[in-house]
Amino acid sequence: MRTVVIGGAGYIGSVVANLLLNEGHEVLVVDDCSTGHADAVPPSADFVQADIADAADFLAGRDIDAVLHFAAKSLVGESVQHPSLYWRTNVVGTRALLDAITANGIPRLVFSSSAATYGEPESVPITEDAPTRPGNPYGASKLAVDLMISGECGATDLAAVSLRYFNVAGASFGAGERHAVETHLIPNALGAVDGTRPPLTVFGEDWPTQDGTPVRDYVHVADLARAHVLALTAAEPGEHLICNLGNGSGYSVRDVLATVEQVTGRPVPYTVGPRRAGDPAQLVASAERAAERLGWRAERTLTEMVADAWAFHQSRAGVDTVD
């Protein structure tokens, strides 16, 4: 297929762009490089540096089979501090993209949605029919886009799939997490191990979970990328399919730290701090719909995620500056 990967200079977008190329698809990457890195774009992809707000310009006159849309602001804390940034970039930006998709008659869309659309779940595992009550503007903006896409599919023949990511980790095709502001547990723990980041703060150990730390569903970025390729052909014209992407099993912060210590062979220096605002106690996906509709199940273990993230972290030593 002739694909456009919006946000293909970012962590997940660049891994998916690599996989698409590997599988014989044509790839045009579009990224404004506000958080992505031009050197993460695969060399065999075409690349246009542009903002999604200008989608009418960069999609005009091209013959395209599918758009995969990764471009978004994605920090929960920042979204609470600066909600307008999230509504403008994630929602208004995607509105421009959807209009350009419709104007150009592009038949397929795969969108990066998030577990953050559900908010604090009533029960786990979370199915796609669970109530959507996002607890922050980031999750609200992802839900708003999901609703816009549903409307578009109802009004046109667009075949769209929203993939609701749980906690993405690991590295693939030499691409991993390179966030200027790093908030995620695994890269922060790895940086604490070798001193490239400060000692980790564990955000609370008084949660209503087995060991008192929050539980998450971690999924390897290589598994996640494969789901995108399968999603390209999963929806019928006029259908908006929503699928969770997770392992279906949960690991606590302490489980993750134990895995980091096992993989690196070193202790993780940490202190225990207060809970982080907006964190739910447990987020674990039901992986059944993705299995049924995409023929996809996550295969890689938490140990593989941490080992690949560690190899990537070491490969960037002395190259990346950290906050």
Q: How far is the CB of 2 from ligand UFG (least distance, A)?
A: 29
Cα–Cα dist 45/175, whole Å: 15
Among 72, 200, 225, 232, binds ligand UFG (CB under 6 A): 200
Give me the residue label for tokens 């998450």.
Answer: 216
165 flagged as catalytic: no
Q: State yes or no: residue 115 binds ligand UFG (CB under 6 A).
A: yes
- Name residues contacting ligand UFG, limited to 122-151 (CB under 6 A): 138
Q: State yes or no: residue 259 binds ligand UFG (CB under 6 A).
A: no
The amino acid sitting at 249 is S
The amino acid sitting at 23 is E
Nearest 5°: CA angle at 134, between 260 and 306?
10
Segments in 25-66 forming alpha helices (H)? 55-59
E strand or H helix at 3, and its extent?
A: strand 2-6
Output 202 or 227, the one with its CB closest to ligand UFG. 202
Q: State yes or no: residue 218 binds ligand UFG (CB under 6 A).
A: no
Q: State yes or no: residue 185 binds ligand UFG (CB under 6 A).
A: yes
E strand or H helix at 69, and its extent?
A: strand 66-69
Give the residue among 77, 101, 83, 86 at the shortest CA–CA distance from 3: 101
Q: Is 316 helix (H, G, I), strand (E, B) or coil?
A: coil
Q: State yes or no: residue 225 binds ligand UFG (CB under 6 A).
A: no
Cα–Cα dist 244/7, whole Å: 20
Output 14 or 114, the one with its CB closest to ligand UFG. 114
Output 172 or 213, the one with its CB closest to ligand UFG. 213
Q: State yes or no: residue 74 binds ligand UFG (CB under 6 A).
A: yes
Pairing of strands 251-252, 215-216: antiparallel
Among 5, 76, 149, 243, binds ligand UFG (CB under 6 A): 76
Active-site residue identified among 11, 86, 138, 218? 138
Q: State yes or no: residue 6 binds ligand UFG (CB under 6 A).
A: no
Q: State yes or no: residue 283 binds ligand UFG (CB under 6 A).
A: yes
Q: State yes or no: residue 201 binds ligand UFG (CB under 6 A).
A: yes
Output 97 or 140, the one with its CB closest to ligand UFG. 140
Q: Is 4 helix (H, G, I), strand (E, B) or coil?
A: strand
Q: State yes or no: residue 188 binds ligand UFG (CB under 6 A).
A: yes
Which phi and psi (to 5°) does residue 82 adopt?
-130, 65
Cα–Cα dist 200/251, whole Å: 17
Output 107 or 187, the one with its CB closest to ligand UFG. 187
- Please compute Rg for the chain using Cα positions: 19
Would you name the residues annotated as active-site residues? 138
Chain positions contacting ligand UFG, by CB under 6 A: 74, 76, 114-116, 138, 167, 183-185, 188, 200-203, 214, 216, 253, 276, 279, 283
